[in-house]
Amino acid sequence: MTNRGLTAAGSVYLWPVVEQYAVSYTRVNYESIDAVGGAMHFMRDPLECSNLGVTIVECEPGWTGKEHDHAGKEQEEVYVLVEGAATVDVDGESVELTAGDALRIAPDARRQIRNGEDESLFVLVGAP
């Protein structure tokens, strides 16, 4: 059984029904959620979050994300690079990241992930 959702770009994606225990938490494995754009596992809807966005990004060598901002939503984001090395362009400035680095990005800042020669893994968190 699957649920349906829409990405910010308006394309449809599916995710499996998640396990929900009592009413205090929801559990889902990101690998069970289809990747959008070849890399991004959007977890907000599958986790039934109302005030928090969570995305897992599995970057292949040379992968580049879409340049964007969240000014209209006033969504602040934190990018945590769990594995690998990558560059995040923020308002035209290239910020080099290595595993373990966290980067806070203001809602109105333009941002884009550019992955290097090796695979990398990000956890992106945004609110509200």
Q: Is-contact 43 56, C-beta < 8 A? A: yes
Sign of CA dihedral 126, 65, 37, 72: positive
Long-range contacts of 41-45, Cβ-Cβ distance < 8 Å, separation of 24 or more: 42/5, 42/7, 42/13, 45/3, 45/5, 45/15
Mean residue pLDDT across the chain: 88
Looking at the structure of the chain, the number of domains it has is 1
Instruction: State the amino acid at position 120 in one-letter form.
Output: S
CA angle 102, 103, 106 (to 5 degrees): 150
Instruction: Quote the CA–CA distance of 78 and 107 in Å, as a whole number.
Output: 10
Its domain, for residue 101, covers 2-127
Predicted confidence (pLDDT) per residue in 36-78, tens digit: 999 999 999 999 999 999 999 999 999 999 999 988 888 899 9
**What's the CATH number where 52 sits?**
2.60.120.10
Q: Which two tokens stand for residue 87?
A: 């560059």
Q: What is the pTM of this model?
A: 0.80
